[in-house]
Every structure is written in structure tokens, then in C-alpha cells.
Amino acid sequence: MTAEALSVPAVVAAAPAGTKTHCPYCGLQCAMKISGNGAADAEVAPRQFPTNKGGLCQKGWTAAEVLRNPNRLTTPLVRRDGVLTPTTWDDALDVVASGFARARREHGADAVGIFGGGGLTNEKAYQLGKFARVALGTSNIDYNGRFCMSSAAAAGIKSFGLDRGLPFPLADIGFARAIVILGGNVAETMPPMVGHLMTAARAGGLVVADPRRTATVERAVADGGVHLQLAPGTDMLLALGMAHIAVTEGYADLDYIADRTSGFDDFWRVAGQWWPERAERVTGVPVAAMRRTVALLAASRDNGTGAYILTARGAEQHSTGTDTVSAVIGLSLLLGLCGRKGSGYGCITGQGNGQGGREHGQKADQLPGYRKIADPAARAHVAKVWGIDPDDLPGPGQSAYELLESLGRPGGPKMLMVHGANLAVSAPRAGHIVDRLASLDMLVVNDFLLSETAAMADVVLPVLQWAEEEGTMTSLEGRVLRRRQAVPVAEGARSELEVLSELAIRLGQPAERFPTDPRVVFDELRRASAGGPADYTGVTYERLDNDEAIHWPCPEVGHPGTPRMFLQRFATDDGRAKFVAVDHHGPTEPVDAEFPLVCTTGRVLTHYQSGAQTRHVKALADAAGPMFVEVNTDTAERLGIADGAQVLMTSRRGSATAAARCVDSLRPDTVFLPFHYAGDQRANLLTNPALDPTSRMPEFKACAVRLEALEAVEVQ
């Protein structure tokens, strides 16, 4: 299948009249209209917008199917005598509030935890952080975005002083003739984005670094682009090898380095040791391919046709993910790409509100506006908006995996409330995390379908779906967007803003402190973010109703927003971008005789995240087919595994089953697993929870495994 076939054509039939909103899935936030009288007959149609240019992927086209899923939750459930039993809202909320109060009374405020999600609206993410810190007084809040963009965010802050996934509009890359993507398969994960790559692709300037020959790689090589087929976990070294080429072969922009950066000498002391031939021996990428990549970027920079370097999860989801992105940023700075119109570095944000979700208080160490919770000035500002004493705010809490690991243990949370995350499938070392969830005194899950995590819960609260609610989202390019209610609320379901308000009141908070109107919550968010790195002060619902091009920071109502950042100066103290010296260490878990293959994980075209939604859409599930493991044909033959045969995959943490998919193009030392499937097919039963020391990102993308034909082993 060609990349062009993965999304609908840019020219589409006129959309019927309907409600303007945005897709519920990835960070592109493609624009759409929803027509119909309700969920039963709702229809989705694309509309013209800078990110999707009038197209939608298969997930977007079928988004309305989830709205009318017959298994939609509309009644609260409480586990009684081991069985989830329907009950009233008052009863369910009383049970939850009593559990919170009991845990805090017996074990202290940190005995309760909150786990959020990158799909929540800005309003819900903001209110969730406020609820945790004010109503519960706990430091134990984090969210699944920690598993997604945190390494790129940490590296961006180190080098630029600020994190915004793309510090330029996505549409800008549509003019570039050289684009390098490290660890991203956008042709399957974000198909409409392919349209923005076509100028580079047709010029032979699309370069993709990936252990697999993905659909994005196919798009690149079809017109003479480059596939950098590196070993998993060696992206940092690839960037350092190309940085060496940039300096020693005359491609570095020395004037830019002198005028707009600092720290080059320290960076070069390390990068200078990784001459390209040495890097080739570890990465497996030929020196000629590295040289061609650097030459493409430099030529497009010099002739003004634009050059971009982008990273995604394949490069970032490692125990060295922050350093990897720092190396990539270092390469970008050497070439003089950052802070210039028409060129730059960016992170491809995966979740629908991955950007906004990390800006307004879901992360363990942050307050709204992307402020640090340990900063006294930030605490004073936000506490004033919230009407509390700054000293009453808790300090930084544990990162996502550390929070999950501590569940039920001495000093850890005895109760957890989850919003917008399916931890039983999505967390690394998933079998162990299921055990930790089971050890809790109470697990509460807010969801609209009975996910694998919800099925474990003691209380399940049925909440609204995307088309039933009002709010805002922030796309991968920092563009704040309006999500509008397009269908009536399913009878019995409630907004999470209502849930948080009702719980806060039961915990003794004044009702006015936790409003339920999204517009009122957003106006408070604006005040809380004022003066922070992610300043939304000038963004209002009224402006968003008339303008879909407001990028933060937007410090006042008359401000046009900031689509392109760093053009004059970076957000560092001295205005210069900082080189960060890093060195290659490789995956935490090397292969050995017992576990001789490297397993890497990723997505497929028709599924999204843990599959909690897309596995319920028949057209998507049928298109994706059953769980599979992609393995090199020669490797499979050596192991006695036939194409299509069931195999058992085993790591040091657990085992999973899948059907073998034998391909010639995959590296022989690597296997690939999609992470959307449940039960004994969970890829994350295998993955390594080793954490990046800065971002606390787990190492999803590299763990040592072995494969065996299932018929030849005895399964317990």
C-alpha cells in the first residue's frame, strides 16, 4: 500500500452541514464536521484545515462508530461480592469519596493517587491537577504522556528553555525539500501528515531512520530518499555520527553557532570521538547514507528550500531518550536549523492532547502554564488563582511508572483514580503493573468503555466521549483548538468536570472552587497560566470560535499568538540555544544467548494506543487483523517458525503470543510488535521499565527476547 493511499485525497466532496470539531485520536487534531441527530446516526466528514488539508485517516473516518458502541458505559458500577454491579451516581461517588477520605485519614495525603491521560481536554487536565493538589493534597499525580513525549520535552527544555512539540506550524514542513524523521512511521500513525512530506519526498529529500521498512520508509525510497536502517536504541549514536560529518566535512554553520548557541565545545568533545565509520559499526547504518543525509539537509538550508529534523517515539522511548533527543538537537544546531523560518527541529506528538495535557498540571512536577511545582514563584501565582496558601500545595510527586510501581506498597498509594488511560495494556512490564493495581484497596476508573483496566476496578464511572463534550485541545504544533459538543450526552453519563466537582464537595471543598462549566474552567486556566512558559492568557472561547490559528504563547487578548518560536531568541536565560554534551550507552538490556533478539514496539495503521477504542470498531479491527510479530525471514527459518504460525515471545519479564509475519526487509536481529492488543497478546508484557534518568520515560523500544514456535513449547 502506498503512503498516499493511507489517507483520503486532499480534494474531497463538500462536507454536509454539521458541528465543527476535531478528531478524537492523534496530535494532528484533524478538522472534521459531525452531522446527524445523535450518536445513532452521527456521520463524520473532513473539513479543510492546515494539518489535514481536507483528509482523514481510517480512524478519523470511523470515529463516530465508537459513539454508538453497544457496550458504551452509561451506569456507574461498584464491585460488590466480587462483581461489578450497577448503582446510582450518588452511591458510586459516595463510595469513591469515602475511599479517598479513609486512605488519607489512615495513611496520609499521598496514600491516594491520580493517573491522567493525554486525551483529556485542557479543561479536564487542568481540573484534574487542581483536584489532586487541592481537594486531595496528594503529590501522587502523573499521566500517560510520561510514556509518550516526555524525553523530547526534557531535551527541548534543556536546549531551548521551553518545550513545544513543533515550535513551528506543521504546514511549514510542506515546503521543505529535506526532512529527516527519526523513529516515526507517520504514514501509519498520522496518515494525513504524509501530505506535508511530499515536497521533500518528490525531491528525494525524505530520510527515515527506522529498524523496519515501514510505509513511511517506502514513501521515502520511492523517489530516491534514504532509509537509515539502524539497530534499535542507536538513534543517539546516529545523530552523533552525522554531527561529526557536519563539522569535519564543512557543513556546520559556524556563524550561527557563534551567534545563537552555547556549549558547542563540550558537545564536540564527545561527538568528535564518533567518527562515522565507528558509528556505522554500532548502528549498522552505512557511512554513505549518513553523508548523504547531512548533505541533503545542508543543501536545502543553503538554497532556502527548508530543512527539518523530527523525532518520534522510536527515538525517544528509551532509557537514554532525553540524551538521544539532545544529540539530535545538537545536530540541528550544528546545521543552523533551529529558530529560523523554514527550518527547524521538532517532536511529533502522538496523543490527541499530548501537548496541552502536559502543560496544565497532570505531570508530577508541574503546575498550569508549564510551571515547575518546586518553584516558589510558580506556587505563589497558582495558589493565588486557586484561593489557597502556597504552603498547602504538595511538592513534586513520582513519575508515571514509579507511581504505578509503588501502588499498594508501604508508603505508596492505597487508592488510585484513573482518567483516560488503559494501564493494564499500555504500561511497561504490564503483568507486574496489573499485580500492583490488584493490590490496591480501591481502584477507580473513569471511562466510556469497559477497558481492560476498568474491568479490574472497584468503581467505574461512565464519562463523556469526545463528541459529547465542550472544551479545548492543543495540537502537536501548539495550536489551541475548540472541541464542540456535536451529539447529545448519552443518558446516564457525566462529564469528568462534574465528577471532580461532586467528589471535591464530598471532601469538604467549596462548590465554586471546582466549576463544571468548561468555559469557566478554561478562563481560570488562562489566569493560572498567565506569565508561564505556556501562556494561554490571550486565548478565549470567543476567539477560538472565530479563529483556529492561535498558537501559544499568547500573553494577551490582542496578541496574535506565536506560530513560530525562537526566531529572535531562545527561551533560555541568555537567549542562546544550548548544546548538551551526551554520549552513547545503548539499550539497558543487551541481547545474549538466552534472549538473542531485540524487540521493538510500535503502532499499526488502524489501531490507536492501547486499542481500547479502535478494537471496538469492526472495520478497524478487521483491517488490522490479529496480533502479529514481524520477524526477518531468515531469522524465522533459523528458528523453525513458518509465516503465519503462532509463536511464543519471551523476555525477562513475561511472555506473549502472536502470529509470525515473516518479512525480508526487517533487520535480522530485530522483531517488531504492535502494542494495541490485550490479554496474552500484550506487547507490554515483555517491555523493559528501565527509566530515563531525566524524563523518567520507560524503555519501550528495546528489550531482549527469544521466539519459539508455539507448537514446540509447553505453555503453562
Residue 15 confidence class, pLDDT cut points 50, 70, 90:
very low
Mean pLDDT calculated for residue range 143-151: 91
Instruction: Report residue 505 as a C-alpha cell.
Output: 464537595
According to the model, what pLDDT value does residue 14 have?
A: 38
Mean pLDDT calculated for residue range 679-693: 96
Distance CA 445, CA 416 (A): 8
| CA atoms within 13 Å, Cβ hemisphere of 531 | 10
According to the model, what pLDDT value does residue 6 have?
A: 35
User: Among the residues of 19-107, which ranges form H helices?
Assistant: 58-61, 63-67, 89-107
644 forms bridges with which residues in the sheet?
none
In angstroms, the Cα distances linking 164 to 152, 178, 259 are 9, 22, 23
According to the model, what pLDDT value does residue 1 have?
A: 36
Q: What are phi and psi of 545, to 5 degrees?
A: -70, -20
According to the model, what pLDDT value does residue 155 have?
A: 97
Q: What percent of the chain has pLDDT over 90?
A: 92
According to the model, what pLDDT value does residue 524 have?
A: 98
According to the model, what pLDDT value does residue 710 have?
A: 87
Distance CA 160, CA 329 (A): 9
Nearest CA to 528 out of 188, 122, 231 is that of: 122
648 forms bridges with which residues in the sheet?
657, 708
Mean pLDDT calculated for residue range 139-161: 95
Distance CA 75, CA 286 (A): 58
Mean pLDDT calculated for residue range 650-655: 97
According to the model, what pLDDT value does residue 350 have?
A: 79
Measured in residues, the chain has a length of: 716
> What dihedral do alpha carbons 607, 613, 617, 621 form, nearest 10°?
30
Q: What is the pLDDT of residues 417-453, one digit of tens each?
A: 999 899 999 999 999 999 999 999 999 999 999 999 9
Q: What is the pLDDT of residues 591-615, one digit of tens each?
A: 999 999 999 999 999 998 888 899 9
Residue 392: left if φ>0, alpha if ψ -120 to 50, beta else—which one?
A: alpha
Close Cβ partners of 524 (under 8 Å, ≥ 6 residues apart):
126, 385, 515
Close Cβ partners of 244 (under 8 Å, ≥ 6 residues apart):
271, 272, 274, 275, 276, 279
According to the model, what pLDDT value does residue 508 have?
A: 97
Residue 16 confidence class, pLDDT cut points 50, 70, 90:
very low
Nearest CA to 584 out of 217, 275, 150, 297 is that of: 275
Question: What domains sit in the chain, N to C, each tagged with a CATH number?
Answer: 3-67 (2.20.25), 77-147+353-551 (3.40.50.740), 150-347 (3.40.228.10), 597-712 (2.40.40.20)
Distance CA 159, CA 96 (A): 43
| DSSP codes, 233-258 | T-HHHHHHHHHHHHHHTT-S-HHHHH
CB 361 within 8 A of CB 368: yes
Mean pLDDT calculated for residue range 658-674: 97
Stated as kind and residue range, the H or E segment containing 204 is: none
Instruction: Report residue 191 as a C-alpha cell.
Output: 496518515
Mean pLDDT calculated for residue range 557-576: 96
Q: What are phi and psi of 274, to 5 degrees?
A: -105, 70
Residue 5 confidence class, pLDDT cut points 50, 70, 90:
very low
Share the mean pLDDT of the chain: 94
Q: What are phi and psi of 255, to 5 degrees?
A: -65, -45
According to the model, what pLDDT value does residue 502 have?
A: 98
Q: What is the SS3 assignment for 2-43?
A: CHHHHCCCCCCCCCCCCEEEECCCCCCCCEEEEECCCHHHCE
Q: Which amino acid is at 518?
A: P
Distance CA 96, CA 87 (A): 13
DSSP strand E in 159-210: where?
Answer: 178-182, 206-209
Mean pLDDT calculated for residue range 503-523: 98
Terminal-residue alpha carbon distance, the chain: 39
Q: Which amino acid is at 162?
A: L
Distance CA 333, CA 254 (A): 10
Instruction: Answer whether residue 4 shows pLDDT above 70.
Output: no
CB 229 within 8 A of CB 284: yes
Instruction: Answer whether residue 242 shows pLDDT above 60.
Output: yes
**609 CB burial (10 A radius; 0-12, 13-18, 19+):** buried
According to the model, what pLDDT value does residue 547 have?
A: 77
Mean pLDDT calculated for residue range 481-498: 96
Mean pLDDT calculated for residue range 465-491: 96
Q: Which residue has the cell 496541552?
A: 356
Instruction: Answer whether residue 141 shows pLDDT above 60.
Output: yes
Instruction: Answer whether residue 565 shows pLDDT above 50.
Output: yes
Distance CA 396, CA 164 (A): 22
Mean pLDDT calculated for residue range 480-499: 96
Instruction: Report residue 76 as a C-alpha cell.
Output: 456507574
According to the model, what pLDDT value does residue 8 have?
A: 35
According to the model, what pLDDT value does residue 277 have?
A: 98
Instruction: Answer whether residue 681 shows pLDDT above 50.
Output: yes
Q: At what angle do helices 235-248 and 287-302 cross, to 10 degrees?
A: 60
CB 167 within 8 A of CB 478: yes
